[in-house]
Amino acid sequence: MRVTRLFCPLPLSARQDVTLGAEQANYVSRVLRLRVGRELIIFDGRGGEYLAVINAVSKSELSITLGEYCADDRESRLNLHLVQCVSKGERMDLVVQKSTELGVRQITPLLSEYSVIKLDPKRAEKRQDHWAKIAISACEQSGRNRLPDINGPQPLNGWIEQSAAVNATKIMLLPGAQKQFHSIAAPAGEVMLLIGPEGGLSDIECDMAQQAGFVGVSLGPRVLRTETAALVALSLAQACWGDLDG
């Protein structure tokens, strides 16, 4: 039987008694219908996990006792940084969820010239919090014990300028490009993967990215939706240089 995994935002240690809040208590008691004595796996996002036992559960609190620390991380050896132009509706949620499952270490949402979504600072902060919760849920489901960094949305132009000084393998999805993933040498450090919005990157944005060191890579003869392109590209990167091949 699969043991439920839960994230705890507090630093954890072995043999510790922990009380979690109403949201997790409601999920455990009303959704999963777990009772006193059942086991859970708890992690705090810093790596590793703990087997825990439920001591008490109500609508407002979940009381557990942690067992010994287990150092399993299940992190990819590949340092993947997804730089994704914000897409419409649930598409961005899907990208955050699935890219977390695929092992990305960092996600940077960008607002580009052709982005359908426009975010003021207040909405941008809310979206960042929303995406962080999606990433936590994806870690709970996938077995990851380290949370990816979810950066706040920012303008593409400014981010591209800053990225020019970063030493990384920089890849930009570009329909019609001659290069493919398998033709790129195995990266020694961080891999930045830049993906445009529904309408693609503008010519000016492509030029800026290339000047900052991004290399155009094609995913084949068909034009994929932005959320599809992200998941295919991440899967190829993990298969070529990471741990998707087992």
pLDDT of residue 115: 83
pLDDT band per the 50, 70, 90 thresholds, residue 42: very high
> Does residue 118 sit in the same domain as residue 237?
yes
Residues 6 or more apart whose Cβ sits within 8 Å of residue 162: none
Does 117 have pLDDT greater than 80?
no
* Res 219: pLDDT: 94
Residues 135 and 233 in one domain: yes
Question: Which of the two residues, 99 and 113, has the higher pLDDT score?
Answer: 99
- Is 181 or 115 the better-scoring residue by pLDDT? 181
Residue that terminates a domain, selected from 47, 70, 93: 70
Same domain? For 153 and 198 the reply is yes
Q: How many domains does the chain have?
A: 2
Specify whether 105 is located in the same domain as 26: no
Same domain, 85 and 62: no
Q: What's the average model confidence in pLDDT over 205-234?
A: 95
pLDDT beyond 70 at 85 = yes
Residue at 246 is within a domain: no
Provide CB contacts within 8 A for 107, sequence distance 6+: 81, 82, 84, 96, 99, 100, 131, 135, 148, 149, 150, 151
Phi and psi dihedrals of 120, rounded to 5?
A: -80, 170
Residue 208 in domain: yes
Question: Does residue 150 share a domain with residue 44?
Answer: no
Could you give the angle at the alpha carbon of 134 between the alpha carbons of 244 and 132, nearest 5°?
105
Q: What is the pLDDT of residue 246?
A: 58
Q: How far is CA 68 from the centre of its chain?
A: 27
Question: Tell me, what CATH number does 64's domain have?
Answer: 2.40.240.20
| Mean pLDDT on 129-154 | 96
The reply to whether 18 and 126 lie within a common domain is no
95 in the same domain as 178: yes
Higher-confidence position of 105 and 113: 105
Domain boundary among 40, 70, 100: 70
pTM score of the predicted model? 0.92
* Average pLDDT estimate for 217-243: 94
- 122's CB contacts (< 8 A; 6+ apart) are none
Summary mean pLDDT of the chain = 93
Percent of the chain with pLDDT over 90: 76
Cα distance between residue 160 and residue 162, in whole Å: 5
pLDDT at 121 over 90: no
Which range marks the domain in which residue 43 is found? 5-70
pLDDT at 114: 83
Query: Would you say residue 89 has pLDDT above 80?
Result: no
Residue ending a domain, choose from 70, 104, 121 = 70
Residue 116 sits in the same domain as residue 225: yes
Give yes or no: residues 57 and 176 share one domain.
no
Does residue 140 surpass a pLDDT of 80? yes
DSSP per residue, 212-242: TT-EEE---SSPPPHHHHHHHHHHHHHHHHS
Q: Does 52 reside within a domain?
A: yes
Structural domain contains residue 75: no
pLDDT at 34: 86
Question: Mind listing the pLDDT tens digit for each residue in 55-82?
Answer: 998 888 999 999 999 998 899 999 999 9
Instruction: Tell me, yes or no, whether 32 and 135 share the same domain.
Output: no
- Of the CA atoms within 13 Å of residue 202, those in its CB half-sphere come to 10
pLDDT band at 122 (very low <50, low <70, confident <90, very high): confident
**Region 123-135 average pLDDT:** 94
Same domain for 54 and 161: no
pLDDT reported for residue 1: 61
Q: Which residues pair with 65 in a beta bridge?
A: 17, 53
pLDDT for residue 230 is more than 90: yes
